[in-house]
Amino acid sequence: MNGTFNLLGMTLAQLQELCVNEGFPRFTAKQLCDWLYKKRVDSIDAMTNLSKVQRARLNEIATIGREHPVRCQVSKDGTKKYLFPVLDGHFIEAVFIPDDGRATLCVSCQVGCKMGCRFCVTGKQGFHGNLSAGDILNQLFSIPEFEQLTNVVFMGMGEPMDNLDAILAATQVLTADWGLGWSPKRITVSTVGVIPGLKRFLAESPCHLAVSLHNPVPQERMAMMPVQKAFPLNQVLALLREYDWSGQRRLSFEYTMFRGENDDLAHAQKLVDMLKGLDCRVNLIRFHESPEAPFKTSLPSVIADFQNYLNRHGVICTLRASRGQDIDAACGLLAGKE
């Protein structure tokens, strides 16, 4: 019989509590972590150093929570987009991006999104629910490329700061010695700037942060990103300036280039002024046109001028390579449609 909750995604503290409640010895929690996160078994019966009685009880109350992807689309550039079933009848996507010596998985954290950014296909779907820490980790654990992964970015469907408990639990599993033991430097969490979540993230997580900026002019940003109304960029930047970025943790800003909207040198200059003195970098992203979004891609020469302007004026600026465009795996195109 299948149990009612998933073990995948539970932290050591949560598993210890479970063991105490079930009358299991406390060290069983550590054994569970080993099976879940080091050996990555997909059945409770495979946990052979647990007693038969313990396994039977766990099978009554829980399952591992592993779900295989139901579809994989492969781009001509090697990028792969996986579709996973979650929450009654919904689907989410994760994108595997191999790149010279690196292999990054871009994971989703919500089904749809509440933020409604006008250039984003996910935002158009509305919001259908939060993923659990287990749903998030399953995107890594259940793809054949798990062993190759060097990095994870929380830049798929959803706004991480709007589902922060699950993000913090998932990143704890990824980084703790009882979990996967990854360096936090391998993990980047993105946000459009939801301040309450961001404050907590800065205090409680050591992972890298990427802020989706996209436009330095408040009125223009508000027209693209409704979150600007509730959490204006100047308040987000004030919060980021209070934080000490001199350690290992990195701050970056994502800036998607929209033709005639935010790609001229006047915007570049405002961006430079806005970021002055902040230890950060800017990642420019080529916009991928979609019939569902009323924006066009900037011309390559315009993007190059913008990038050069930033670099000349002391802001480290890179252009992110476009990946997986032919399978709709690029930024802002994840729809989770079966």
- What amino acid positions are annotated as catalytic residues? 93, 331
Provide, rounded to whole angstroms, the least separation between the CB of residue 181 and ligand SF4: 29
Provide, rounded to whole angstroms, the least separation between the CB of residue 105 and ligand SF4: 16
Rg (CA), the chain: 21
DSSP string, 146-198: GGG--EEEE-SSS-GGGSHHHHHHHHHHHHSTTTT---GGGEEEEES--HHHH
Euclidean distance between CA atoms 233 and 227, whole angstroms: 9
The values of phi and psi at residue 51, to 5°, are: -70, 160
Provide, rounded to whole angstroms, the least separation between the CB of residue 295 and ligand SF4: 12
In terms of CB distance, is 58 or 115 closer to ligand SF4? 115
Provide, rounded to whole angstroms, the least separation between the CB of residue 120 and ligand SF4: 3
Candidates 61, 60, 18, 15; CA nearest to 35 is 15
Residues that bind ligand SF4 (CB under 6 A): 113, 115-117, 120, 122-123, 157-159, 192, 332
Provide, rounded to whole angstroms, the least separation between the CB of residue 324 and ligand SF4: 16
Candidates 226, 211, 330, 324; CA nearest to 274 is 211
Provide, rounded to whole angstroms, the least separation between the CB of residue 54 and ligand SF4: 41
In terms of CB distance, is 36 or 105 closer to ligand SF4? 105
In terms of CB distance, is 12 or 330 closer to ligand SF4? 330
Residue type, 165: D
Strands ordered across the beta sheet of 102-106:
71-74, 80-86, 90-99, 102-106, 151-154, 187-191, 208-212, 251-257, 281-286, 316-320
Tokens of 223: 């027209």
In terms of CB distance, is 86 or 120 closer to ligand SF4? 120
Tokens of 124: 């158009």
In terms of CB distance, is 84 or 182 closer to ligand SF4? 84
Task: Report yes or no: 254 and 221 within 8 Å, Cβ to Cβ.
Answer: no
Most distant pair of Cα atoms in the chain: their distance: 69
In terms of CB distance, is 116 or 184 closer to ligand SF4? 116
